[in-house]
């Protein structure tokens, strides 16, 4: 599993922006503006995931004031993520990992046993500093547990 001090796995993936644009972006592109917070979540339009992304929306100023940018990450298509962002008035971009390369690279893949869903993201948060190193890593094996938002905000400020 990716941990604090590791080089962040590089990637290129479609990003759904709040203005409705969808663009292919690489991690190196995202880091041009400073540190990034990658918040992996199992799936759009689910209750806990919606609650988490809305909480990040409401607390976004603390992350951006720290000089970091926030990106949600799930295996949903960029088109589903665009609608999810629109419905929930999300003010930050969402990365589509529909090919499951990011959850594999960050080693945060899980299955929902009994539901027949394989290969969704564990709820997890990684802060990647400008040099591309992971400065914060949090991963939950319980999809019902949300991150400690104040801890994430502090990690973004320290990145």
Catalytic residues: 49
How do beta strands 117-121 and 22-26 pair? Answer: unpaired
- Determine contact, residues 124/40, Cβ cutoff 8 Å: yes
Buried (b) or exposed (e) across 49-81, using 16+ Cβ within 10 A?
bbebbeebbeebebbeebebbbbbbbbbbbebb
DSSP 131: T
For residues 158 and 138, what is the distance between their CA atoms, to the nearest angstrom? 15
């Amino acid at each position: 599993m990716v941990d604090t001090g590791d080089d962040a796995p590089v990637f290129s993936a479609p990003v759904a922006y709040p203005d409705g644009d969808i663009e292919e972006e690489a991690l190196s592109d995202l880091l041009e503006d400073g540190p990034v917070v990658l918040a992996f979540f199992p799936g759009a339009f689910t209750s806990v995931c919606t609650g988490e992304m809305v909480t990040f929306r409401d607390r976004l100023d603390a992350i951006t004031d720290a000089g970091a940018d926030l990106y949600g990450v799930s295996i949903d298509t960029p088109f589903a993520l665009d609608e999810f962002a629109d419905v929930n008035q999300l003010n930050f971009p969402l990365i589509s990992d529909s090919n499951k390369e990011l959850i594999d690279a960050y080693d945060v893949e899980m299955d929902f046993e009994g539901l027949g869903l394989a290969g969704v993201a564990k709820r997890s948060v990684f802060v990647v500093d400008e040099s591309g190193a992971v400065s914060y890593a949090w991963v939950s094996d319980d999809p019902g547990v949300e991150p400690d938002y104040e801890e994430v905000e502090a990690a973004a400020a320290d990145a």
